[in-house]
Structure 1
Amino acid sequence: MITDYKEIQHSALELDENHRAELAKKLIDSLDQRIDEDIEQAWIDEVKRRKAEIKSGKVTPISGQEVHKAARELLKK
């Protein structure tokens, strides 16, 4: 088993992109094992609220490209 940090890093960087992404996610997930149930529920509620607003027509979604364009325009001012 590889235990030296430099060896692990070298081996990890030689993985293909998909495996590196999977490894990165697992490493990040391992840093915070605690899940705050209140925060988790707040995000679920927010997603449901936004979905309902879109379905009802109250909100019209715009593309990320449009958001970036508008942000660039605001930053020019």
Structure 2
Amino acid sequence: MNVDSQNILDRALELPDTDRAFIIEQLLASLDKPDEAIDALWEREAEERVEGYRTGKLRSLSLAEVLAKYRT
């Protein structure tokens, strides 16, 4: 970490909790950039799942079935 970054961090740590939380949220949001390739893969996956359900190749589970699986 360079000196400027360390100075910023030191000053940020002196801020009230709510201000630090706001800065954290903004910094994290700046790292969460959309990735068109990943978005396209998820879109294709969702379409394939819907098509599989419609054609009977996939079946849905009720909430009770899903919860029962994790209770055992």
What range describes the TM-score normalised by the shorter chain of this pair? Answer: 0.5 to 0.7
5+ residue gaps, structure 2: 1-14
RMSD (CA atoms): 2.6
Match of 1:5 in 2: 16
1:60 corresponding residue in structure 2: 59
Percentage identity across paired residues of the two chains: 23
Structure showing greater Rg: 2
TM-score (structure 2 length as normaliser): 0.55
Count matched residues: 53
**Partner Cα distance (1:65, 1:5) in 2:** 45
Q: Deviations along 1:30-72, whole A, 9 cap, x unmatched? A: 2434111111100000000000001111111002331121233
Give the 5 Å matches for 1:1-77: 4-6=15-17, 8=18, 27=25, 30-73=29-72
Q: Give 4+ residue runs of structure 1 displaced > 2 Å after superposition.
A: none
Range with bigger deviation, 30-39 or 53-62: 30-39
TM-score, structure 1 as length reference: 0.52
Larger relative CO (CA 8 A, sep 6+): 1 or 2? 2
Distance of 1:45 and 1:52 partners within structure 2: 10
Gaps of 5+ in 1: 13-26
